């Protein structure tokens, strides 16, 4: 019985976690006075930016304010490709 309860708890947490990740997080861009939803699409753009700048991956939240500002400046000149 405990195994079934653990499994059910695991599945529930996985579903809730996936839904939270799919919704994304809103991040404010103080330079352009707008906010952006950080989701899979934004993550792909951020990784493209890092590759273009020849930088190693670092979680966006750990960047300094000036580094985040550099990214948002780049991002505003590189809209999503359809």
Q: pLDDT at position 31, please?
A: 85
The more confident residue out of 14 and 53 is 53
| pLDDT at residue 20 is higher than 70 | no
pLDDT tens across 29-75, in order? Answer: 888 898 989 999 999 999 999 999 999 999 999 999 999 999 999 99
| pLDDT at residue 5 is higher than 60 | no
- What the block records as the tokens of 50 is 């890092």
Q: pLDDT at position 8, please?
A: 63
**Number of DSSP helices (H) and strands (E) in the chain, helices first:** 3, 2
């Amino acid at each position: 019985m405990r195994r079934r309860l653990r499994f059910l708890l695991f599945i529930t947490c996985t579903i809730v976690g996936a839904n939270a990740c799919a919704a994304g997080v809103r991040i404010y861009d103080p330079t352009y006075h707008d906010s952006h939803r950080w989701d899979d699409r934004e993550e792909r753009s951020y990784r493209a930016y890092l590759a273009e700048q020849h930088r190693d991956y670092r979680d966006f939240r750990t960047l300094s304010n000036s580094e985040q500002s550099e990214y948002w400046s780049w991002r505003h000149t590189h809209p999503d490709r359809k």
